[in-house]
Chain A
Amino acid sequence: MEWEAVIGLEIHAQLATASKIFSATSTAYGAEPNTQASAVDLGLPGVLPVLNEKVVEMAVLFGLAVGAKIANSSIFARKNYFYPDLPKGYQISQYDEPIVTGGCIEIQLQNGKLKIINLTRAHLEEDAGKSVHEGFDSSTGIDLNRAGTPLLEIVSEPQMHSAAEAVLYMRAMRRLVRYLEICDGNMQEGSLRCDANVSVRKTGDLTLGTRTEIKNLNSFRFVEHAIQFEIDRQIEIIESGGNVKQETMLYDADRQETRAMRSKEDAHDYRYFSDPDLLPIKITDDYIRTTAAALPELPVQKRKRFVEEFKLTPQDADVLCEDRAVASYFEAAAGESMGNARLCANWITGELFAAINASNLHIAASPIAPKALGILVSRIADDTISGKIAKQIFEEMWKTGLQPDELIVEKGLQQVTDDSVISDLVDKVLKDNPDQIGQYRAGKSKIFGFLVGQVMKLSNGKANPKQVNDILKKRLNSEIN
């Protein structure tokens, strides 16, 4: 029997605002418990929510980026349920009339093909606090710093069919929200997390199987493992003659398995109704137009442009477009590289990434400015220095922050490109290695490399390797004749 998995994700993206969605409290991560919880966040009697306008701008930006419909009027609703870390006994969310409806995002599958994943909606809501179980004996601690943090919940259609596809979708979404600078995408800190709805059906069936929902997955690895485990679990149940129960599941990362949290019978009746403390969000077409003008170039467009404009390989374009800051770095470097964009791409994904990772820096904090790297690349291309020397200079630039031309002059590292100087070096090497010449002529072609090495060594690595090659080859051949 062939089975097809059907997966939809609800991604929670924490919006990168300085203050909370309905209060002026800071959203900074990592503060002492309950130090970032005001009377509004605590849900004290009589306090009222006031909408942070920045979250509306961010949601609109997102909606425009995915080609969705932005509602001219949308409303906040209360989702009622009791939980100790939910201060008001309800979460302010959106239900009937969300701010963003529809839209889609393109993902690239492992086979290189593109696939469109449609979105159902995206809506604004507040986050809850968190329960702390360690250090309180048999009690539970409540930390409400996170309560009221703004979230954009992005709901996809059930259009993914493998755990890997779900991860690709989540990656694409992470890339997008980071491009838009509406979410830092930090999954470890919970800034981006998702619930996965998973069902399986016989391949070819049109109706959906019974789904389960896996809650709160906060890494790509967990998304992949949890969904895969759940697909396998469901197939096993069906194949052994059982029925999948509609349940809410938790993923246990230590045991790498999903476990039922509550069944449909225990499901909450959230008693949604529009929040009488908040007015509808009114968005004019003018506002939408103004926001659209501020939309940055999106990853998919940028990738396409990099391939066309800079003749990058799709792989390089992918890597560079993953992060908007990296893409900007690349463009700035390429602009100084005298048309050697591909070489720039190699240096960025090679030397620069290695250095950045080793120092645990963000590219924006790189001691080598993009223009400086572009100039370095252009010096390789115009034969001022060899690639090997360039690596030495790169290291010096990283340490000192100096410009490549300063270092080249200061250290006398310009490449030797004068034919007559190189010819003299070649002649000296040939004179000093008569045996090797004999071996070469006897057919040991490997000796050629050794001779090139000797010339390079004699030039302190500064001779242009290509010219050394040409002249040496010419000499050896002429002497045969």
Chain B
Amino acid sequence: MSAVTASSRWEAVGQLVELNARDQLSRRYGLLAEAISWFKAVDLFRQAELAEMTLRKPGPQDLRRHRACLAQVIAQGERLATLVDSDGLPANPEGITREDIEAQLEALYDTMIGWHGGITQERRQQVMAEVFGGPKPQT
């Protein structure tokens, strides 16, 4: 993963989201294709997150890029969900439903709160101890 720079990973996610947004506006490919493309953008985002935030310690710039990219992916998902609400998603062999889009969106919101929600270390330790028992458990 080292040959690709951090900024290029985040930029790739941003470019795909922008391209998807343009296609969504022009209704170029239809809703199912838009949905599949959004799920791919989420996968690309998760790959960048793994490389830049999980496998190494993120710095302030990484945190900023992560939040910006995440916000873009969420915004596109929300637009997609709105279109699906009004037009419906055609039945498809992949079995993708409106509920799957919603579930993916919720997982992205979880990520936003987990990384950028401002939960204090004290609160984390308190809940970890209460729910999982003992001092902050190691996995």
Q: Do A and B come from one complex?
A: no
